[in-house]
Amino acid sequence: MNALGSNADLYFKAFGGSSSKRSNEFMSMFKDNFGYGSLNFNDNDISLTSLQHVGSKYIKQMKSMNKKKFNKSMFKYIDGDHLLGIAGFAANPEPAFEMYRDMYVSILGNISNDESWIGTAADIGFTFFDEEELFDLVQGDFVFAVTDIKEFEVEYTSYDYDDDYNRVEKIKTKKETLPEFVSIASIGNKDLRDKIIKLMTQTDVIIKKDHYYELQEPKSRYSDRAAKPLNVFYMIKDDLLVITNNEELLKSNNGNGISKSKQLKGEAYNLMKSNNMFAYWTPKTTYEKVPTEFTDKIKPFKSIADTYQSFQFNGVKNKGNIFTSTAKISLIDNSKGSLMLSLDLINEMMRVVAGGH
């Protein structure tokens, strides 16, 4: 399967006014790039494998881009006790930037003979772009996890009227069931990030609360304070940017994270530790956490929760010019095999969606 595939129209349009020599020069950049995959319905799981063969032009950048591990300090902020799902990627940004800069300058430079200046302008723009400062700030690894579904106390705006019929705004609180999440990214360049934080505090985007910050909701045109569906908190610690709606995660232990016994464990931990890209989700655990008053609204999801134990993705493994990623859906009950169970699931979901007929 040719890797140019879905982008073929873009390339043909780009070279509509170009000479065949220039077009061939550009197309040779993707020589020997192709990919293929396999889908297998096994007894205990469904597996999908994707293999990408990268040509000599960008093999060095691709290898360097994928030689990245997650910051070990991230594990301190991921609560594994009630984990529902987690995903993350770690990639070196510099080689990725080099590769895409080369591609886009070539694309824009070959749009047509009359507009070749666009490629020159793009090249100049990339030259003046200070990638070193940006990549010192953005390290290239990021994780997002849903660690629970539970009640949160959230603020909302209510309006009453006084004796003179003047509208009076009041801030009240109520409890709502929401997903608990945390996202973590490695960052550097302390001088630059301090400038960004200072600007955000000066413009009231965030407010300082001890060693962390709280995001402020935007103002509405009707009020100085808008409705606030959930509280979001930020903290920078050990060159990590931690964003969460679980304030206790940042308050306790002076922001140094949770105890090791509560941290990420099991399959999800192994995936994050041994891959630069991964994902893990447990549909049954997720469904069991949904309050009963909402279960009728997600009946099709119950069929998935009763059939599949977990979804997981891992990659990218490299050997020579081949880059491999795999995904696996594990079954709860393997008595009928993954293919028949999946067909039964599709039939059941269609029946539920159609109203049980």
The candidate with the shortest Cα–Cα distance to 250, out of 280, 215, 225, is 215
Mean pLDDT computed over every residue of the chain: 79
Q: In 3-state terms, the chain is what percent helix, strand and coil (to 5)?
A: 40, 35, 25
Q: Cα 234 to chain center, whole Å?
A: 17
Interaxial angle between packed helices 117-128 and 93-109, expressed in degrees from 0 to 180 and rounded to the nearest 10? 160
Answer whether the bond into residue 352 is a cis peptide, omega within 30°. Answer: no
pLDDT at res. 166: 80
Confidence class for position 204, pLDDT limits 50, 70, 90: confident
Q: Tell me the range of 84-98, 148-162, 329-343 where mean pLDDT is highest.
A: 84-98
The pTM of the full predicted model, rounded to 2 decimals, is: 0.77
Confidence class for position 278, pLDDT limits 50, 70, 90: very high
Over residues 209-225, the mean pLDDT reads 66
pLDDT at res. 207: 85
Over residues 269-298, the mean pLDDT reads 87
Confidence class for position 244, pLDDT limits 50, 70, 90: very high
pLDDT at res. 24: 65
Handedness of CA 63, 64, 65, 71 (dihedral sign): positive
Range with lowest mean pLDDT among 113-127, 229-243, 307-321: 113-127
The candidate with the shortest Cα–Cα distance to 244, out of 176, 178, 311, 310, is 178
Q: Where are the beta strands (DSSP E) in the chain?
A: 34-41, 45-53, 85-90, 138-161, 167-187, 206-209, 212-215, 233-237, 240-244, 277-281, 308-319, 322-331
For tokens 């979001």, what's the residue?
Answer: 232
Confidence class for position 280, pLDDT limits 50, 70, 90: very high
What tens digit of pLDDT does each residue of 143-178 get? 999 999 888 777 667 777 777 778 887 777 777 788
pLDDT at res. 144: 97
Residue 15 predicted with pLDDT over 60:
no
pLDDT at res. 160: 78
The candidate with the shortest Cα–Cα distance to 308, out of 7, 104, 47, 28, is 47
294 vs 314, more confident:
314
**What is the pairing mode between strands 206-209 and 212-215?**
antiparallel
Residue 211 predicted with pLDDT over 80:
yes
Inter-residue contact 181 to 146 (CB < 8 Å) = yes
pLDDT at res. 159: 77
What tens digit of pLDDT does each residue of 172-203 get? 777 778 889 999 999 887 887 888 888 888 77
Confidence class for position 324, pLDDT limits 50, 70, 90: very high
Residue 273 predicted with pLDDT over 60:
yes
Q: Cα 89 to chain center, whole Å?
A: 8
Over residues 248-256, the mean pLDDT reads 91
Over residues 217-246, the mean pLDDT reads 71
